[in-house]
Amino acid sequence: MAGRRAWMTVGLLLGLFVLVVAVVQLGPHPPAPYSGPPYTVISGFVSAGPTCPVVRDPPASACAPQPVAGATLELQGAGLETQRTTSELDGHYLFRIPAVRGTLTLTALPLQGLRPPAPMTLTLRPDQPRLRADLAYDTGIR
Q: For residues 39 and 91, is the Cβ–Cβ distance under 8 A?
A: no
**What range does the domain containing 129 cover?**
39-138
- pLDDT tens digits, 13-36: 666 665 555 555 665 656 556 566
Tell me the CATH number at 57. 2.60.40.10
Question: Is the pLDDT at 56 greater than 70, yes or no?
Answer: no
pLDDT for the residue 120: 97
The rounded mean pLDDT for the chain is 83
* Judgement on whether residues 89 and 119 belong to the same structural domain of the protein: yes
Helices and strands, number each (H, E), in the chain: 1, 9
* Judgement on whether residues 26 and 91 belong to the same structural domain of the protein: no
Kindly give, in sequence order, each residue whose CB lies less than 8 Å from that of residue 136, ignoring residues fewer than 6 positions away: 46, 47, 48, 49, 65, 117
* Judgement on whether residues 82 and 133 belong to the same structural domain of the protein: yes
Q: Binning pLDDT at 50, 70 and 90, where does residue 141 land?
A: confident
* Judgement on whether residues 65 and 14 belong to the same structural domain of the protein: no
Question: Is the pLDDT at 137 greater than 60, yes or no?
Answer: yes
* Judgement on whether residues 61 and 26 belong to the same structural domain of the protein: no
* Judgement on whether residues 60 and 77 belong to the same structural domain of the protein: yes
* Judgement on whether residues 62 and 88 belong to the same structural domain of the protein: yes
Q: How many domains does the chain have?
A: 2
Q: Binning pLDDT at 50, 70 and 90, where does residue 91 land?
A: very high
Is pLDDT larger for residue 128 or for residue 30? 128
Is pLDDT larger for residue 112 or for residue 54? 112
